[in-house]
Amino acid sequence: MYDRGLKVLPGGVNRVRGFLSPFPIYAESAEGCWITDVDGTRWLDCNNNSLSLIHGHARSEIVDAGRRQLGLGTAMSTPTESEIGLAEMLCERLPNMASIRFFNSGTEAVMFAIKAARAKTGKSKIAKIEGAYHGLYDFAETSLDPAPGQWSNEPTAVPYAKGTPKSVLSEVIVLELNNVESMVRLLRENQSDLAAVLVDVLPLTTGTLSMDPDFLRAIRSLTRDLGIMLIMDEVVSFRFGFGGMQGVYGCDPDLTALGKIIGGGFPVGAVAGTASAMEVFDHRLTGKPLLPASGTFTANPMTMTCGKVAVELYTADECARLNKLGQDVRDNVDRMIRKLGFEAQTTGYGSVFKIHFNRHPLHNYRDAYPTEDDRKMAAAFTSRMLARNVLVSPYGFVFSTAHRGSDVDILLAAIEEALEACAS
Ligand code: PMP
């Protein structure tokens, strides 16, 4: 299959993050937290399609709803009741968000949240945290992965993709995670040009190192004073709390980017916002909205219907149970690391955690940047996990409500074996 793929797909695959050397695993089917590949081998799935399948694969209630909708039509260009249903449910969970506009990916959600902030404020710059992933909109991907050779004392705007226009870089202010002093200075210096500060309180690229609540509070209060909007990227972090991480942190952003789990396994993105922030999408005010935003498959009833079932099934109790399951596994892994006296530590929150193969304190992107030795150890660990038929995400271990006690036992045995092998 890989040989066939190489002939028609650049690099042989459609998603580089899913690539495994010397060739990828080709999935044939999946159920719960298990994927069966084309050779009939079963894999314990601790990736969940990049954290998007909160109930694992083929959850029966979602399959039933999806099957019904498939027979009723998949995309009609007219609105359907399904978009109202999902929007109502999300607005209820995010009390500061008055309304929602749906898109088809997290990248689009972040892009339209930024464009909404620009349309509302009439300013063009954004500020974001060094190393944070927010999808692939030019401005949002800036300084996603600067290498040590590109570090100056303070974070600067570094292109992610070759060919990024210089003008993009001049529109992005890069902040250091949890450094209040420099954040305050940079926001004040750029106040007259800054439309928004974009934050993910648990950036995956650093191994979900948490944003300090005081840092977030300082950003919220200063952005409010300076007329800058706050965008919370909850594309991933919505899974961590019944009302997302804004509920956990008690933060009220102007705009929220959503995606992943709210689509029930189908492509999705959404921008939610306060009544004032969302006015820019409303065509009734001026005929043409301040921010024109639509798409052929946005709010299609397959995504909306399956998304609504998935969100409905993710009750406050299920969310708490899943967070505890993740925390218990992480505690167990911490114990293994201590017992082995191994040079490693874990970071994460609730249903996601990562093992870092070093012991130094981790506060920000630069601390979490792996050395060559860290990388080698991580690669050895991942290949051990693969040898035990466990699929891990590049961001670490991701759990869904489909993971049960017996799956966790299999996982812990595999992790222990992999850590022991790496320690010896
Ligand atoms: N924001 C965050 C925090 C993400 O982790 C991701 C994807 N991993 C995105 C945005 C982009 O979402 P998508 O892949 O659906 O475009």
CATH number of 368's domain: 3.90.1150.10
Give strand pairing partners of 129: 175
134, 138, 237, best to mutate for ligand 1 pocket (most atoms within 8 Å of CB): 134
Distance 335 CA to ligand 1 centre (A): 32
Residue 110 Cβ inside 6 Å of ligand 1? The answer reads yes
136, 204, 235, best to mutate for ligand 1 pocket (most atoms within 8 Å of CB): 235
Give strand pairing partners of 250: none
Q: What is the pLDDT of residue 424?
A: 82
The pair of structure tokens assigned to 17 is: 């993050």
Helices 405-423, 316-340: axis angle to 10 degrees equals 30
Q: What is the pLDDT of residue 104?
A: 98
User: What's the gap between Cα 172 and its chain centre?
Assistant: 20
Judgement on whether residues 307 and 322 belong to the same structural domain of the protein = no
Q: Whose CA is nearest to atom 14 of ligand 1?
A: 106
Residue 271 Cβ inside 6 Å of ligand 1? The answer reads no
Judgement on whether residues 283 and 341 belong to the same structural domain of the protein = no
Q: Are 93 and 337 in contact (CB under 8 A)?
A: no
- End of a domain among 294, 313, 332? 313
Q: What is the pLDDT of residue 6?
A: 97
Q: How far apart are CA 144 and CA 205, in angstroms?
A: 8
Judgement on whether residues 295 and 254 belong to the same structural domain of the protein = yes
Q: Is the pTM of this model over 0.95?
A: yes
* Consecutive H or E run containing 61: helix 60-72
Q: How confident is the model at residue 394 (pLDDT cuts 50, 70, 90)?
A: confident
- Atom of ligand 1 minimally distant from the CA of 260: 15
Phi, psi angle pair for 126, to nearest 5°: -125, 155
Judgement on whether residues 216 and 355 belong to the same structural domain of the protein = no
Judgement on whether residues 92 and 216 belong to the same structural domain of the protein = yes
Q: What is the pLDDT of residue 174?
A: 98
Judgement on whether residues 304 and 372 belong to the same structural domain of the protein = no
Give strand pairing partners of 255: 231, 273
17, 103, 107, 129, best to mutate for ligand 1 pocket (most atoms within 8 Å of CB): 107
Q: What is the CA radius of gyration of the chain?
A: 21
Closest C-alpha to 305, from 263, 268, 243, 258: 263
At residue 18, does pLDDT exceed 80?
Answer: no
Residue 235 Cβ inside 6 Å of ligand 1? The answer reads yes
Taking residues 66-78, report their average pLDDT. 97
- Atom of ligand 1 minimally distant from the CA of 269: 15
Judgement on whether residues 264 and 370 belong to the same structural domain of the protein = no
Q: How confident is the model at residue 52 (pLDDT cuts 50, 70, 90)?
A: very high
Q: How far apart are CA 306 and CA 62, in angstroms?
A: 6
Residue 104 Cβ inside 6 Å of ligand 1? The answer reads no
Q: What is the pLDDT of residue 268?
A: 98
Taking residues 9-29, report their average pLDDT. 90
Q: Note down the domain range covering 103.
A: 60-313
**Which residue type sits at 177?**
L
Q: What is the pLDDT of residues 343-387, one digit of tens each?
A: 899 999 999 999 999 999 999 999 999 999 999 999 999 999 999
16-20, 122-126, 242-246, 310-314: which range is least confident on average?
Answer: 16-20
Judgement on whether residues 70 and 36 belong to the same structural domain of the protein = no
Q: What is the pLDDT of residue 393?
A: 87
Judgement on whether residues 115 and 246 belong to the same structural domain of the protein = yes
Judgement on whether residues 48 and 118 belong to the same structural domain of the protein = no
Distance 135 CA to ligand 1 centre (A): 5
Residue 393 Cβ inside 6 Å of ligand 1? The answer reads no
Judgement on whether residues 89 and 168 belong to the same structural domain of the protein = yes
Query: With DSSP H G I counted as helix, E B as strand and the rest as coil, what are the percentages for the chain, rounded to 5?
Result: 45, 15, 40
Judgement on whether residues 298 and 191 belong to the same structural domain of the protein = yes
Domain count, the chain: 2
- End of a domain among 250, 278, 313? 313
The CATH number of the domain holding residue 292 is 3.40.640.10
Coil/strand/helix, residue 355: strand
- End of a domain among 251, 283, 313? 313
% of the chain with per-residue pLDDT over 90? 93
